[in-house]
Amino acid sequence: MNLKEEIIKKISMELMMDFQSIENILEIPPELQMGDYALPCFQLAKRFKKSPNLIASELGKKITCNETVEKVEIVGGYVNIFLNKEKFIRETLLNIVKAGEKYGSSMIGNGKTVVVEFSSPNIAKPFHVGHMCSTVIGNSIERLYKYLGHKTVRINHLGDWGTQFGKLISAYKHWGNEEELKHNPIKELLRIYVQFHDEAKNNPELEDEARIYFKKLEEQDSQTVLLWEKFREVSLNEFKRVYDTLGIEFDSYAGESFYSDKINEVVEIFDKEGLLRESENAKVVSLDEFSLPPCLIIKSDGATIYASRDLAAALYRKRTYDFDKCIYVVGTPQALHFQQVFNVLKIAGFEWYKDCIHVGFGMVRFKDKKMATRSGDVILLEDLLNEAQIKALKKINEISPALENKEDVAKKVGIGAVIYTYLKSGRENDIVFSWDEMLNFEGESAPYVQYTYARGKSVLGKAGSLPENADYSMLRCPEEYILIKLLHDFENILMDAAQKYEPFIITKYITSVARAFNKFYKFCPVLKADEETKKARIHLTQATCNVIKTGFNLLGIEVPERM
Ligand code: ARG
């Protein structure tokens, strides 16, 4: 239990309220002279039928000063709590230095399995900047849950099945070019797909032909399957290049096609429960009781559909991984789809439907017009990542011309800058790209944090090996205290981010750690301090570097040791 938790527990006992409710209202005041924690009593007035001021003064008297709490002050409706700084600093730093790169990790998830489905692009289509949202948010959520002790499974639910593949096969038979498919697969597949739609306007029979091909595919016709497999393979190779650049791997690429032969079981289950209704020859499950449109399970021509494949996938995952949570990182426009799927599971009697969670996100916009498009409206992710690395290299050449491994550093900085941009605000907010902001070494950006980390590492390098012991009572400057308080909060930040499925909470936090470290660095000399102070400050620097590195790793961003 850390000190913050100790205080929350004390208050919750005195007020006879649960831990969580107190945690929700306990604040960290903006100024040090207002205390380390403050409990505003305004929200409690109704509950206790007393004025906030009275609640505050009564509570204040009950929180006695002890080893942990040095002073309690009542200011209006606030109870301001001042910690015993020396104890706080000592315990926090000892804890971090001892835990090293494991600081903040937890066993809370031990014995629990979390499936995280993310990225899930559609094959034969370009991997564009929008897919990056799901990719980086999902990657971060998975890392976070793992760090908190869960067993995790990373699934890429590829969009590799559906009527559009009937169209693609028909198009390829008419206008496909094998050579092009080899050298420029996605471009070629996109070209023939567009051509299909153009031609089908005047020649509607093409649509029928496509339906027949998809039917053949579902019936496992070997010629048709062979072609589809090729499309899948060449697309996946393209996607894997991007995943490699990002350092992302998956445990499973079981996409929609994987479930095509598992739909019958779904249909049988729903049929047995009497849930299937015929509607214009299609089979649907009515969701009237939830005021939702019916969920289509089998189309009138007998073909399976997106939703039924998702139902089969949910059943399969529950059976295979026995998950405690199954997280779907998919854009918010699909919220209705997931409500339908989860509610169908509910009425079919699968209690675990409540463990299925849709984690949505907003859109990507570009501030720089220049950034948009080489080939029309989609921006290819690969182009964006390449450009980011080129620009980062240019910057590094300006600021550290003598640096070794400049390319490697530029990769970490460039890719990091892109990931940071995706993870710097709440999921549901739109993401706005601007090169200036992304690569601003002084602003709210990955390079700023990375640079700070490298600065810390450089101090540590000059100091030699980490002193075994340090007297933390030497740390008496407000800049030191503010930094230590932030570091103390890491565990709570991780919990909060995991509970809300919001990696940006970590991004914001790590950025403020970097900012606080830079203030400390400016006002509290490390290497030039007297011997005892120096040792303590080296420990603080080491603790900060640990937290920055771990936090950034949880976002999927690497930190260069030198910059
Ligand atoms: N392939 C889909 C798309 O690009 C996303 C898949 C989402 N996952 C799911 N289980 N339906 O829109």
Let me know if 369 is exposed, middle or buried by CB neighbors in 10 A (0-12, 13-18, 19+): exposed
Q: Is the pLDDT of residue 369 over 80?
A: no
Assigned CATH topology for domain 3-83: Gyrase A; domain 2 (3.30.1360)
Phi, psi for 357 (deg, rounded to 5): -130, 125
Evaluate if residue 428 carries a pLDDT over 60.
yes
Ligand 1 centroid to Cα of residue 335, in Å, is: 11
Mutational test site, ligand 1, from 120, 158, 344, max ligand atoms within 8 Å of CB:
120
* Separation between Cα atoms, residue 417 and residue 412, nearest integer Å: 8
Q: What value does the mean pLDDT of the chain take?
A: 93
Structure tokens at 114: 């979390």
pLDDT tens-digit series, residues 61-83: 998 888 889 999 999 999 999 99
Q: Which of 496, 359, 340 is nearest to 428 (CA)?
A: 359
Tokens representing residue 389 in the block: 């690395």
Measured from the Cβ of residue 449, the count of other Cβ atoms closer than 10 Å reads 26
Tell me, what's the pLDDT at 1?
63
Query: Ligand 1 centroid vs 247 CA: distance in angstroms?
Result: 21
Residue 81 main-chain phi, psi, to 5 deg? -115, 130
User: 113-271+305-365 with 381-555: one CATH topology?
Assistant: no
Ligand 1 centroid, distance to 164 Cα (angstroms): 14
The candidate with the shortest Cα–Cα distance to 537, out of 490, 473, 485, is: 473
Q: What is the pLDDT of residue 372?
A: 47
Q: What is the pLDDT of residues 323-361, one digit of tens each?
A: 999 999 999 999 999 999 999 999 999 999 999 999 999
Please work out whether the CB of residue 350 comes within 6 Å of at least one atom of ligand 1: no
Q: Is the CB of 255 under 6 A from ligand 1?
A: no
d(CA 367, CA 85): 45
pLDDT value at residue 130? 72
Q: Please give the CATH number for the structural domain made up of 381-555.
A: 1.10.730.10
- SS3 label, residue 69: strand
**Ligand 1 pocket, residue 310 CB under 6 Å:** yes
The verdict on the CB of residue 332 being under 6 Å from ligand 1 is no
Catalytic residue among 4, 10, 85, 131: 131
Answer yes or no: is the C-beta of 328 below 6 A from any ligand 1 atom: yes
**pLDDT for residue 375 is more than 90:** no
User: What residue spans of 184-334 are helical by DSSP H?
Assistant: 185-202, 205-218, 222-246, 263-272, 306-321
Strands 276-279 and 78-83: unpaired
Is 488 annotated in the active site? no
- The pLDDT assigned to 385 comes to 93
Instruction: Report the C-alpha gap between 76 and 249 in whole angstroms.
Output: 54
Closest ligand 1 atom to Cα of 122: 1
| Sequence-distant (≥ 6) Cβ neighbours of residue 271 within 8 angstroms | none
> Residue 520 and residue 282: Cα distance in Å, rounded?
67
Q: Which of 125, 230, 346, 395 is catalytic?
A: 125
Q: Give domain limits for the chain.
A: 3-83, 113-271+305-365, 381-555
CATH number of 113-271+305-365: 3.40.50.620
| Lookup: tokens for 308 | 């039924």
Distance from residue 256's CA to the centre of ligand 1 (Å): 9
Single out the catalytic residue among 9, 87, 112, 128: 128
Decide which of 435 and 397 is more confident: 397
User: 73, 58 in Cβ contact below 8 A?
Assistant: no
Task: Tell me the C-alpha distance between 381 and 390, whole Å.
Answer: 14
What three-state secondary structure class fits 159?
A: strand
Q: For residue 159, report the distance from its CA to the centre of ligand 1, in Å.
A: 6
CB of 122 shorter than 6 A to ligand 1: yes
Ligand 1 center to 328 CA (angstroms): 9
With residue 326 as reference, give the H or E element that holds it.
strand 325-329
CA atoms within 13 A on the CB side of 284: 15
**Length of the chain in residues, anyone?**
563
Q: Ligand 1 within 6 A of 256 CB?
A: no
131 Cα nearest atom in ligand 1: 4
Is 263 close to ligand 1, i.e. is its CB under 6 Å away?
A: no
DSSP code at position 121: P
Is 337 exposed, middle or buried, given 0-12, 13-18 or 19+ CB atoms closer than 10 A? middle
Strand 69-75 and strand 151-155: the pairing is: unpaired
User: Does 539 participate in catalysis according to the annotation?
Assistant: no
- 473-490: pLDDT as tens digits: 999 999 999 999 999 999
- E strand or H helix that includes residue 113: strand 113-117
User: Cα–Cα distances in Å, from 554 out to 2, 361, 389, 420?
Assistant: 22, 19, 21, 12
User: What spacing in Å lies between the alpha carbon of 334 and ligand 1's midpoint?
Assistant: 8
The answer for 38, left when phi > 0, alpha when psi is -120 to 50, beta otherwise, is: beta
Distance (Å, whole) CA 472 – CA 85: 10
CA atoms within 13 A on the CB side of 497: 34
pLDDT per residue over 521-543, tens digit each? 999 999 999 999 999 999 999 99
At 373, the pLDDT band (50, 70, 90 cuts) reads very low
For residue 434, the model assigns a pLDDT of 86
- Retrieve residue 458's tokens: 């450089």
Q: What is the pLDDT of residue 376?
A: 47
The region of weakest confidence among 153-157, 175-179, 378-382, 429-433 is: 378-382
Q: Is 131 a catalytic residue?
A: yes
Mean local confidence (pLDDT), 37-44: 95
Find residue 73's DSSP bridge partners: 80
